[in-house]
Amino acid sequence: NMTNTTLPIYSLYGPHSSEGAGSFRPTAEMLAGLDVLIFDIQPVGARFYTYLTTLLYVMQVVAEHNLPLIVCDRPNPIGGEIIEGPILEQSFESFVGCGALPIRHGLTIGEAARLFNEVWQTNCDLTVIGCEGWRRGMFFDETGLPWVAPSPNMPKWETAVLYPGTCLIEGTNLSEGRGTTLPFEIIGAPWLDGVKLAEKVDELGLDGVRIRPLQFIPTDSKWQGQRCTGVQLHVTDKQTFRPVTTALHIIAAIKQQHPNEFEWRYTHFDRLVGTDDVRREIERETATSTLLSTGVCDIINSWTPAIEQYIHQRQTILLYKN
């Protein structure tokens, strides 16, 4: 409980953060009088979960101030073996995408710090305190640790399993479940035919997931107070489930099923994905193809060479084996 402390508390969630005055990067005033900075935050294994960007910004600033940084490592709740999504292109770097990483990067926060320092050459005075007992193939439910929500819309570790895919819904006019008790587990809009969508997606036979239709009313965010029809994603096998693949199939199916109602939030979607190639290809496929699943698979397969290069690049900074 920090409410009784006399220590100053600063937000690194931007100058207009609800936490009060702050910025995205530590300022000289924030760092004044410090001997060392400790970073101890639980991420969720997705590039656009912004704690990763905050870490990079902190490392860049402490390097400028010759201030030592200690990173207390945490388990990657969705494991460290599965890599998914395109590598972010430099022109799409933002607070939700700090650099050339895939969406599901397979790193712990400590390993990300080592990557930033040794490969991206932030060159700060870095110490990583590793996790005891964590192995690359472990999901959070295998750690025996209690899940403490790292942000309001990450209420349980299972949410993190879906998040690398369903967060992409933010870049559309569909609800991603914010304002409900199932954020990032449900997708919908007042105009969406959830029954038809569930049938269409289930026909694809996507690994590790089942889709069911449902209705919900968000209490805030998109479609606040309006009855939405849509689908809920049930992960049946976390090892074979591929959230990014699943989300792109769902988005493409909705785009084809509701071409007049579906809308992109272009800038945000492209920043989340890390390229505009994915959106443009879905646009082309939904306009021309009746075999839409084949087009989405082609998009996913096109990431393979870059992912293989990334896997090779990260070998020197990994801290844990399986």
Residue 83 has pLDDT above 80, yes or no: yes
Contacts of 151 (CB under 8 A, 6+ apart): none
Residue 320 has pLDDT above 80, yes or no: yes
How many Å apart are CA 69 and CA 169, to the nearest integer?
Answer: 35
How many Å apart are CA 271 and CA 319, to the nearest integer?
Answer: 29
CATH 3.40.50.12170 fits 28-148+306-317, yes or no: yes
For residue 136, give both structure tokens. 């690359």
Looking at 3.40.50.970, 3.30.70.980, 3.90.1150.140, 3.40.50.300, the CATH number of the domain 157-302 comes to 3.90.1150.140
Residues 121-150: pLDDT tens digits? 999 999 999 999 999 999 999 999 999 999
Q: What is the DSSP letter of 274?
A: T
User: Domain spans of the chain?
Assistant: 28-148+306-317, 157-302
CA diameter of the chain:
63
Position 19 scores a pLDDT of 45
Predicted confidence band of residue 3 (pLDDT cuts 50, 70, 90): low
How many Å apart are CA 126 and CA 218, to the nearest integer?
Answer: 43
How many Å apart are CA 59 and CA 64, to the nearest integer?
Answer: 9
| SS3 state of residue 39 | strand
Locus of tokens 């959230």: 243
How many Å apart are CA 34 and CA 19, to the nearest integer?
Answer: 22
If phi > 0 it is left, if psi is from -120 to 50 it is alpha, else beta; for residue 114 that is alpha
For residue 5, give both structure tokens. 């402390």
Query: Do residues 52 and 43 lie in contact, with contact meaning Cβ atoms separated by under 8 Å?
Result: yes
Position 227 scores a pLDDT of 98
How many Å apart are CA 238 and CA 146, to the nearest integer?
Answer: 19
Query: Do residues 249 and 268 lie in contact, with contact meaning Cβ atoms separated by under 8 Å?
Result: no
Q: What are phi and psi of 150, to 5 degrees?
A: -80, -10
Predicted confidence band of residue 14 (pLDDT cuts 50, 70, 90): confident
Contacts of 203 (CB under 8 A, 6+ apart): none
User: What's the rounded mean pLDDT across residues 106-130?
Assistant: 98
For residue 20, give both structure tokens. 């009060």
| SS3 state of residue 96 | coil
- Rounded to two decimals, what is the model's pTM? 0.94
Q: What is the DSSP letter of 229?
A: E
Residue 5 has pLDDT above 90, yes or no: no
Position 268 scores a pLDDT of 98
Position 2 scores a pLDDT of 55
For residue 307, give both structure tokens. 């992912």
Position 36 scores a pLDDT of 98
Q: Is 280 exposed, middle or buried (0-12, 13-18, 19+ CB in 10 A)?
A: exposed
Predicted confidence band of residue 294 (pLDDT cuts 50, 70, 90): confident
Residue 279 has pLDDT above 60, yes or no: yes
